[in-house]
Structures are given as C-alpha cells and as structure tokens.
Amino acid sequence: MVTTLTSREFNQDTSGAKKAASQGPVFITDRGRPAHVLLTIDDYLRLSGGHMSLAEALAQANADFDFDPPRTFDGVFKPADLD
C-alpha cells in the first residue's frame, strides 16, 4: 500500500507516517510534487541490494547498538618469543 502525504501532514504526524511506512512506501510531497520517500530499513536494504556498513549504521542520528563481545581467555595473549 502506497501512502502520499504533504510536507505539512508529515510534519504534523510523523509517527503516523512511520506507521504507514510499515505498510508500504510513504511519498512526501512539496507543493504537490513528490519530493521524498519514507521506507522501513528492511525495505530500504531489500531495494538497495545490500546492507549498510558499520560506519553508516553508527552515523545514524539515533543509533543505539548493544555490543557485548564474548570474552575469551584461552591463550589469546601469549608472551612474545624473542629468541
């Protein structure tokens, strides 16, 4: 399902636009002409044919990532062999 909103409608109901984007693309118009398209990240990745880089993901304004790498202590650090 495609939704079309004016810039004013988008500004007044951003959360509604985000909900509509979960059903399909949201076209945002300026002076009656399509100017922008709002998509879910899954739709964007599917259309772009790839995944965003780590740098792109971290550059997002509201980036919030959990990063808890596993700790390994099994011989990861060994004394240097200088002989």
Sign for the CA dihedral angle at 10, 16, 18, 23 comes to negative
Domains in the chain with CATH codes: 3-49 (3.40.1620.10)
Give residue 72's pLDDT.
67
Q: What is the pLDDT of residues 19-77, one digit of tens each?
A: 999 999 999 999 999 999 999 988 888 888 777 777 777 777 776 777 777 776 666 66
Residue 82 has pLDDT above 90, yes or no: no
CB atoms closer than 10 angstroms to residue 46: 11
Give residue 31's pLDDT.
93
Task: Decide if 46 contacts 25 (C-beta within 8 A).
Answer: no
Task: Decide if 36 contacts 17 (C-beta within 8 A).
Answer: no
Give residue 29's pLDDT.
96
- Given strand 26-30, what is the order of strands in its sheet? 3-6, 26-30, 33-38
Which position has the token pair 């599917």? 46
Give residue 68's pLDDT.
74
Give residue 60's pLDDT.
74
